[in-house]
Amino acid sequence: MISVDDFQLGAAAWLAEHGRHGPPDYGAICPPDLVDRGVEWHRRIHAAGYAGIHWPSRHGGRGLTIDHNAAWQLEAARAGVPAAFNMVGLVLTAGALLSYGTEEQQHAHLPSTVSADRLWCQLFSEPGAGSDLASLATRADLDGDRFVVNGQKVWCSGGRYSQWGILLARTDHEARTHDGISFLVIDMGSPGIDVRPLRQMTGEAEFDEVFFTDVEVPATNLLGPLHAGWGVAMSVLTSERGHIGTAVVGLERRLERMAAIADGRELDPIERQRLAELISRGQAYRALARRQGSGATTAGSLMKLGISEMSFDTAILRGALAGPAAVLDGPDASGMLAAPGGRIAGGTSQVQRNLIGERLLGLPREPRA
């Protein structure tokens, strides 16, 4: 197997030649006008062998290790391009399929996912279930060889352009909240699915509400055990947080650019102090990320919290340094408007603090209502 160092050198050389084809660095979700470019970029990455780096080769991956994958992410961030397109497919769905999928399910979905021929969305949150995800009410009733799905999901990133989705639905209505949930993969083209765009404060409509009315899903689309989808979902969310944590390298790039802003102008002492504080925080997170390694664990909550809070502070400072015009329009304004989303996506900052307190520090659990 190629060593991580040699792999990384090859990745850096490839990016130096091809990086100009990548879409610009975008925030938590890809804006609709960059989707085609994102898919085209992913196909180029895939053709060069930089997609599914640590997946088994029989599923279209390269059969290397998670450390090779981390090296690719680092080089992509250095080059200022996305390491992949469709994180929900590549990280969340593939993670669930590799850990819980049958051989048939893996064969049916992984090769088309790694090549970006099949894009995925995440259908977890509901109007009454976000942080408290286990109170979700969308139901999937088993009827012979199919489930019948009814309910509503919300904040579904990329729902409109995704061909498939990962869905959490209640399959046992008698069981305790966490115990009656199942994890399904669902064809977004199924009759009875209605996808409606939601406009957010950036002016873009990157999210969708998704309504299900008597949608038939083959029973073979169940991923993991019936009524025990909660465990599958938790492992998926841990991967999501771990993935967000790797954004530290992308953040370094942004900090470098910020430090460069300071080169060209006179900063007042307070601005200088805020900039220096952010740059040192970035370096501390980089050290933490190196110590933690490439695997996704509960400690990913530390990185998720640290990075999303830091991205928020960075966007605010960037706007402040750019001056009054930054609040009107342009990349600084959209950066500020998009920044709060990072503190919510993949589990809010408050929820990360609860996880860190209870699971890492062993503090008493907060009272449950």
Ligand X SMILES: Cc1cc2nc3c(=O)[nH]c(=O)nc-3n(C[C@H](O)[C@H](O)[C@H](O)COP(=O)(O)OP(=O)(O)OC[C@H]3O[C@@H](n4cnc5c(N)ncnc54)[C@H](O)[C@@H]3O)c2cc1C
User: How far is it, in rounded angstroms, from Cα 245 to Cα 344?
Assistant: 14
Show the binding pattern over residues 297-336: x = contacts ligand X (CB under 6 A), - = does not.
Answer: ----------------------------------------
Catalytic residue among 40, 240, 252, 266: 240
From the list 344, 356, 357, 359, which residue makes contact with ligand X (rule: CB under 6 A)?
344
* Contact call for residue 197 and ligand X (CB under 6 A): no
* Contact call for residue 124 and ligand X (CB under 6 A): yes
* Contact call for residue 122 and ligand X (CB under 6 A): yes
From the list 29, 76, 233, 355, which residue makes contact with ligand X (rule: CB under 6 A)?
29
Size of the site for ligand X (CB under 6 A): 20
User: How far is it, in rounded angstroms, from Cα 6 to Cα 2?
Assistant: 7
> Which range binds ligand X by CB under 6 A, 2-10, 57-65, 115-123, 306-314?
115-123
> Which range binds ligand X by CB under 6 A, 55-63, 125-133, 217-225, 289-297?
125-133
CA 367 vs. chain centroid, Å, equals 29
User: How far is it, in rounded angstroms, from Cα 17 to Cα 233?
Assistant: 38
From the list 11, 15, 28, 223, which residue makes contact with ligand X (rule: CB under 6 A)?
28
The residue number with the shortest CB distance to ligand X is: 130
Those residues whose C-beta lies under 8 Å from the C-beta of residue 207, and which sit 6 or more positions away, are: 29, 154, 155, 156, 157, 159, 197, 198, 200
Residue 152 CB, nearest approach to ligand X (Å): 11
Count of C-beta atoms within a 10 Å radius of residue 123: 30
Burial class, 298, CB count within 10 angstroms (exposed 0-12 / middle 13-18 / buried 19+): middle
* Contact call for residue 202 and ligand X (CB under 6 A): no
Those residues whose C-beta lies under 8 Å from the C-beta of residue 210, and which sit 6 or more positions away, are: 123, 152, 153, 154, 156, 159, 165, 193, 194, 195, 196
- Identify whether 40 is a catalytic site residue: no
- Is the Cβ–Cβ distance between 192 and 217 less than 8 Å? no
**Positions in the binding site for ligand X (CB under 6 A):** 28-29, 121-125, 130-131, 155-157, 341, 344-345, 347-348, 350-351, 354
Looking at the annotation, which residues are catalytic? 240
